[in-house]
Structure 1
């Protein structure tokens, strides 16, 4: 049983690493603005599905790794991810009962909060105007949530990750 726990945790980490790979995949031209935050979506799923395994420490760690991979100010994604995952952990019992459409609305606000924090940090660092495409990952992430939920749920149930 102990080895089963490690295998399940390894699969969670592997899904987060794959999400990081999707995060840094270069997309052609204007499509770059549409790339959702796959890492945050994956962290949200695992924090709702198995909150005793994925928490703020994982959000902070993968946030720092995302900062390094994207070349952003160290700690900005870590802060945004940690805050969103804290909210998810506080509300996970309620959110698990919601249908996927209502969860999608919650995901929209989580992604919006994350982008808002990134905007505030970027505005402090380099004051100026921001292009409207900065907010597009919020919408594409919300649209991708049912896909992320379905794929990760299938993995969790078929591999008995608990």
Structure 2
């Protein structure tokens, strides 16, 4: 069985990455929020009382990417060089895709996953009044399938 890199002698610790090469790193993550058809139409038409849902979710995703080490204890502070957030609006769902790029010594998949998670949570927060049932619950609203689509490591070439 493979050992976990962040656990040694039953203690959690941050992995030393100082000996790793500095390379270009990309990661893309995706996830989906299932909503009522009517809610999705309000997002599409810009008719949500709290404001522009996707613009707010995009900003939240970017902020979340930059704050990942504050949320996940063993993540390193890394130089984020770009964040791209895209949304796909379906009939009864919205998919968030977040690509993160860095030049550094460790990957950016946790940052991409955090960006997707916070984007979807922000969408939920902005439309929750339209999603509640008569008891104040959310029986059909769901965030699902948050995953890494790709992770790339490229050697830096001098020009």
Q: Provide the TM-score with structure 1 as the length reference.
A: 0.36
Q: Which has the higher contact order (CA 8 A, sep 6+)?
A: 2
Higher-strand-fraction structure: 2
**Structure in which a larger fraction of residues adopt helix:** 1
Bigger Cα Rg? 2
